[in-house]
Structure 1
Amino acid sequence: MTPPPPLGRPRRKGGPAFDPALDDAALATARDALARGRWAAARDLLAGTGDDWDRRGHRLVVLAEGAGSAARAREWQLAEPGSPDASALLACAAVRRAVAGGESPDTARAACLAAARLAPADPSPWLAVLVLAHRTGTDDERARAFDQVRARHRDHHHAHHLMAACLAERQRGDRDDPLHEVYDFASWAAEQAPADSPLAVLPVVAHAERYRVLARAGLEPRDPARSGHWTGRRARQVMKAAFDWWLEWDVDDGTAHPRRKIDLNYLAHAKLHEGRPAETAALLTRIGPHATPAPWSYPDRDPRKAFQAACRATFGAA
């Protein structure tokens, strides 16, 4: 299990590899301690996360990635029977193992449901069910898991990104359809979200996810610069709406501003292939050396390097 949206995407050899913990130093510390067999730091981290559901989901996903995370979670359960945090970590670790083929999906799902019973308000066990259903379940199972997450946290970013990926993968053999259900889903979610929600960029996420599926099926070039997927009136409207949203909220008042939560890497990529490299360069300058530190960003891509490479392919210069 990895933060969205790179689920199922292999890292390029020789490319940049960022820590899945991103800029969450406390998470990185707890994860490293867990790998050494010490679960107390993970317990303190999750207790301090409280009901920040997006952050909790990300932290659980990263903590569960270690090979020994399931064993550490069981030790934690023995020491603190009934701990919802230990149960949630075990559920996420079980899903990670099931996705990798090292555990039965039924066993992983049972662990998720056990965690959900201990913490009825927590969407994280249902997020784990959604991750599992994405790899091993049916369309109905994915939809039910997503509904359970959304019932507990309506604007859960990881779940929305993951559901967009699930929907984009339907009809793999078809050419791109402007009426594809992933676009409808993304538009609906963006309309339902609060005005300051990063889900405003979900239509761009849907556009990128659909391109990923088409490229994997050989229906679009692997190089986006050679694809028409990012061109055309509809694509321009989607990119413009998302970019305008970002500009509207682009202020720096020293607070945890909503623009820090948006997946700016999508916007940078989109603006470039819309034929507007100057805006892309300005956007990347504001992003900094990496994409947004939020858990739903691309942790395994450096947008500056991607921009430079795409500029060379598209315009002949960086």
Structure 2
Amino acid sequence: MARDGARPSYDPAGPDHALRAALQELRTGRWMAMRTLLAETAEWPRWTQRTQVLATAAAGTDVVRAWLAEEPGSAHATVMLARVGVERALRARRERHRRTHELWIEAWDAAQTATVAAPRDPVPWVCLLALAQLDPEQRWEEHRAAPPEPVLPPGPWGLLAEADRRDPFNREAHHRMLQFLYVRGGPGRLTEASGYAQWAAGQAPPGSALHLLPLYVRVERYRRDSGPDAALDLHWVVEEAAREARRALESWFDRTRPGERALPDLNHLAHALWGSLQFREAARVFEAIGPYFTPPPWMYRTPDRERAGEVFTQARDRCRAAAEGSGP
């Protein structure tokens, strides 16, 4: 990483140059680069991440539908159509759009079709999991299945199991489960989410991104309960927070190669280590982040969310100084 203190940038592709090129083509209404990229993507974790980023960019266009019209038998295009449908439905829900229910059903149908077209692919099941958060009252039977442990709440456990069966410990699948628990009706939602994150992390093998789930819940709790505050307050320096950060560092960061780490996970880990005053350890993670950053969680530490990059830079500089011996 450059050591000149350059301003960080947000790029959904991060260091994935092939994905960035496909995104540029997609934004001009062309789909061949996306098709080629996905055909060359062999590992499920990267496939899951790339399809998610591509769908975010494609959701406002008809590019994927044009691809499917040209190649109606393409399983990859069918999965991408489900991805796009889910993104549109979730956006509609956030914007309280009148077509939310209609888009939800369309996305559900597309995801079901994708489970048949790509039976070994975890992404159609991740799509169905993502749509579960549109049913916080758990009216659908598949969203109130019995949990694997009595201490966990009922939820879309069958959908999670299908995703896990195809790609064990799939990162996005478990994050979608966490999002469902955030919106699930009733009191104690964050307590349930925290219990789930601890359970999932405890089941995960070394190197799994699920070891970071407790850090995400801590950020969500801070966002809801504490409000934006740039100071390093007691929410972050308590021993439990420090332990969660150290555990994620040792169980995930120290057990993975650079190309296996998602940028949101790196940013959450750097934020947690910085917040718990473990500056030297955080400096290692900032080094791995490089010139890119993700607005969450930094945006929650300032009243002006547009200044997330400044918070990131200040934290990075503070941790670098400690690592270089000019600070405690």
Q: Which secondary structure state, in structure 1, belongs to the residue aligned with residue 109 of structure 2?
A: helix
Structure 2: gaps of 5 or more residues: 1-6, 93-98, 144-154, 300-305, 320-326
**1:137/1:114 CA distance change after superposition, 3 Å:** farther
Q: 1:258 to 1:16 in 2, by over 3 A?
A: closer
Superposition pairs of residues 275-314 of structure 1, within 5 angstroms:
275-291=277-293, 302=309, 304-305=312-313, 307=315
Select which of 196, 209, 230 maps to 2:220.
209
1:11 maps to what in 2?
Answer: none
Contact 2:8 2:293 in 1 (8 A): no
Cα–Cα, structure 1 residues 285 and 28, in superposed 2: closer, same or farther, change >3 Å? closer
Residue 228 of structure 2 is matched in structure 1 by: 222
* TM-fit CA distance, 1:22: 1.8
Q: Which has the higher contact order (CA 8 A, sep 6+)?
A: 1
The structural deviation recorded for 1:263 is: 1.8
- Superposed, which structure 2 residues align to 1:11-90 within 5 Å? 18-50=10-42, 52-66=43-57, 71-90=62-81
Letter in 2 for 1:242: A
CA contact (8 A) 2:59 2:88 kept: no
**Conservation of the 8 A alpha-carbon contact between 2:104 and 2:131:** yes
Deviation, structure 1 residue 227: 4.4
Describe the shift of the 1:35–1:68 C-alpha distance in structure 2 as closer, same or farther (beyond 3 A): farther
* 1:153-302 to 2 correspondences below 5 Å: 153-170=167-184, 180-212=191-223, 214=224, 219-223=225-229, 225=231, 227-245=233-251, 248-249=254-255, 263-291=265-293, 302=309
* Of 76, 93, 114, the match for 2:84: 93
Secondary structure, aligned partner of 1:19: coil
Change (3 A) 1:246 1:100: closer
Q: What are the superposed Cα offsets for residues 85-140 of structure 1, whole Å, 9 maximum, x if unpaired?
A: 11111111112222222652111110111111101111111212222222455555
RMSD: 3.7
Q: Please give the alpha-carbon distance, in whole angstroms, between the structure 1 residues aligned to 2:168 and 2:298.
A: 22
Q: Describe the superposition over 1:250-302 as per-residue Cα deviations: whole angstroms up to 9, x where unpaired.
A: 8xxxx65756788222222122222333443454245433359xxx9999965
SS at match of 1:104: helix
- Greater share of helix: 2
Output the amino acid matched with 1:32. Answer: Q
1:147 matches 2:161: yes
Aligned residues with identical type, % of pairs? 34
- 8 Å Cα contact 2:182-2:193 kept in structure 1: yes
**1:23-78 CA-partner distances (Å, limit 9, x unpaired):** 2222222222223232222211111113x222112222222223576622222222
In 1, Cα distance between equivalents of 2:174 and 2:237: 24
CA distance in 1, matches of 2:213, 2:20: 28
The corresponding residue for 2:113 is: 114
1: CA distance, partners of 2:261 / 2:27: 33
Report how many residues are paired: 283
Distance in 1 (CA, whole Å) between partners of 2:36 and 2:298 is 27
Map Cα deviations across residues 166-204 of structure 1 (whole Å, 9 max, x no partner). 32455787697xxx2222222222222222323222222
Query: Is the partner of 2:237 in helix, strand or coil?
Result: coil
Gapped runs of 5+ residues in structure 1? 1-14, 312-316
CA distance in structure 2 between the partners assigned to 1:172 and 1:138 by the alignment? 9
1-side partners of 2:228 and 2:186: how far apart?
A: 15
